[in-house]
Chain A
Amino acid sequence: MKRTFDTGNAAITEAAIRAGCNLFAGYPITPATEIAENMSRRLPQVGGYYLQAEDENAALHICNGGSIGGLKAMTATSGPGFILFADAFGWAVSSEVPVVIVNSQRVGPVSGITGAPGQGEFYLSRYLTHGGNFETIVLAPSSVQEAYRLTVRAFYLAERFRTPVIVLADQMVTDGWETLELPETDAEFLAMGLEVVPRRIHPGPEFYPATDDIDVPPVVLGHNTGAACSDWTPTDRGHDTEDITWQHKHAWRLIHKILNHRDLIDEADQWYLDDDPEVILVAYGTPSRVVQNAVNAARRDGLSVGGIRPISLWPFQDHLFKRRAIYLVVELNWDGQLVREVQRAAADGSQVHFWGRCGELPTSAELLEDITTLLKHEPLARDGWRTEKW
């Protein structure tokens, strides 16, 4: 292992290179710019292509185009660019094209505040395009080291599921400096639980089989297989159709290839849940680091507290919330997004509370105060929008 001290941006870059990425198209945007910069330096060294697109819409379309030519493509952005992916994201979902998208969340809405962390795209990452009829894979790192691991995973899942995979990071994960261990040998890489799936080429003619199977090779053009892919509802051969029975087969496949293979996607950290704690804190990304500290501290004080950190965000892991408990969901936004899913998934009789803030992290002390209040079954103090019963 090569032990370094580096940023999440660097970790994501090295992970992409290790996963075989050979095309990056992006548009500079804070706080994801350094990923583009790092890729512009690293990709040519390994024979890959770096492009600066005219906008994010073009960036993801260039990635899609490269991917249907057989390249492994990635783009990276933040909120204002993420929203521009809608068009190309839908194309990749429907055409079943592997591509990796990194979003370093900052404070919104719109341009908002550039250099501070937010968590405003929890739902947008699930529904990054219109029309419905699909499932999305979203992974959320909470550290520099995990940014490396999940970026490699994203490429792996994108190939196996032939779909875009989103790495939903935040500004502190991508800009933050931490210890980063990089595997130097294949054995070390495998020992990290990581794997690379090389691009396969679908031989045709049934490019869109009516099955929920994964590991169907993607459509790759240029090999005279009669490959056909488009934004239209496809028949099994990729021809455009307005026949609703084909549409049903297509939608069924887009949904169930993911839902029926969740064992490959689902991932979470669960802290101190074995003794069915009374209060359970929930967070993803950087805030989960504070949550973990607060839960550890509460446990040291003998409090009945546990924690859940979803690592894969979508498909949402309802099963994590089957304990009846008092949930406190901590997010870097004021409107509450993750909390809505927790509220929906939580076991009957549970309470679900929201702890929101944007641009800066909560402190352990703040969370401990609220944990104590909840354990006393007292209402959370309202400090502006800080704590709100959902």
Chain B
Amino acid sequence: MSDLLEKYVRPEKNPGTACKGCGLRLAHRKVLEAIDELGLAQGDVVWGTGIGCSGRQTFVTWKGDTFAGTHGRVYAMATGLRLALPPEKRLILTVGDGDAFTIGFLHLLNAARRNVDMTVVVFDNLGYQSTGGQYGVTTPLGSKTDSSPYGAWEPNWTQGGFDVLRILKESGATFLARHTVLQGHEPVESLKKAIQNRGFSVVQLIYPCVTHYGVQALGTRDLAKIYDWFRERTADDLSADANTHFTTGITHDASGSRVEFAAGLRQFVASVQKGVGNGETD
């Protein structure tokens, strides 16, 4: 594993700056494993990040080209960047649940609508942890956090019949998966498919925050106990009860079924230049 870090991660950022025991390290490694297993080199990937734990801890870790966007806007930036990059270049974004599903959700939905070729890996630590632990839209109902001292009450997007990935499916995303970082190689396999999809992919990767969610919601910093809580709550079955479990797996795979945005736009522009004029893509 250290070979993987040496291969892809800048020495100044190895080891990283995440808290001791933070599941983000596992999440980060899953992405690197997927890249490695796909045989991608440093120059094959451009890596973007958002704000929050996931953004701050993974920004400029990638040895190749890398950027960080303002909070929630990295999907819009990636849309512009995608038009400039060669199609074969893989564009991977590591962002948080707040970045993707709340402040940046408008841009995420529109990137899905356009089917822009990027892989958004949502490192989901079940709330706003870099600001000290406040509930978000993936925080399990009833969780005690610093902004929900009596238990999280506000409806979220993962329970009560909601599934944020289903909204993305309806918005046009062509690959969607959800895993926890404690599921061994399964997330890596999904990440590989996501990265290979020439379109808009989202992989929600749930990981334990020891420092805030562990202490505030689970009442412990004990890694074994926290991992147990996650494992007990994880279902390999997508049809399991989402009110009590993280339902995991590939929720939608329509890779290659829609025209990728940049490719479509290039074709459209070429057709206009050829004097077709009506701009219809063939």
Contacts and interface: CB of A to CB of B under 8 A. Distances in A.
B70 to A, nearest CB: 5
- Scoring A51, A71, A223 by chain B CB atoms within 10 A of each residue's CB, the highest score goes to A51
A123 B66 CA distance: 33
A255 interface: no
B106 A49 contact: no
A88 B269 contact: no
A178 interface: no
B80 A228 contact: no
Interface stretch (A52-60, A152-160, A265-273): A52-60
Contacts of B92: none
Contact of A44 (B10, B68, B106, B273): B273
Interface in B38-76: 42-43, 46, 49, 51, 56, 59-60, 63-70, 73, 76
A47 interface: yes
Nearest to A44: B272
Interface in B74-91: 76-86, 89
A222 interface: yes
Interface residues of B, number: 40
A65 B273 contact: no
Interface in A170-229: 221-229
A254 to B, nearest CB: 17
B110 A54 contact: yes
A294 to B, nearest CB: 45
A47 B266 CA distance: 8
Contacts of A224: 42-43, 64-65
B73 A222 contact: no
B80 A226 contact: no
B60 A65 contact: no
B282 interface: no
B107 interface: yes
By secondary structure, the A interface counts as mixed
Contact of B76 (A57, A71, A221, A227): A57
Interface in A219-259: 221-232, 238-240
A68 interface: yes
B57 to A, nearest CB: 10
A25 interface: yes
Contact of A222 (B42, B80, B85, B279): B85
Contact of A228 (B56, B60, B86): B60
Contacts of B69: 61, 91, 230-231
A73 B80 contact: yes
Given A62-B79, A66-B81, A222 B86 contact: yes
A73 B86 CA distance: 18
Given A44-B272, A48-B269, A229 B80 contact: no
Given A63-B80, A65-B79, A232-B59, A240 B68 contact: yes
Nearest to A70: B84
Contact of B106 (A55, A65, A71, A91): A55
B76 A69 contact: no
A227 B49 CA distance: 14
Nearest to A222: B85
11 contacts: A43-B269, A45-B272, A58-B107, A62-B80, A87-B73, A91-B73, A222-B86, A226-B65, A228-B60, A230-B67, A239-B12
Given A23-B80, A68-B67, A87-B70, 15 more contacts: A45-B272, A61-B70, A62-B77, A65-B81, A65-B84, A66-B84, A68-B81, A71-B84, A222-B46, A224-B64, A225-B65, A227-B67, A228-B60, A239-B10, A239-B12
Interface of A: 23, 25, 43-45, 47-49, 51, 53-55, 57-58, 61-71, 73, 87-88, 90-91, 95, 221-232, 238-240
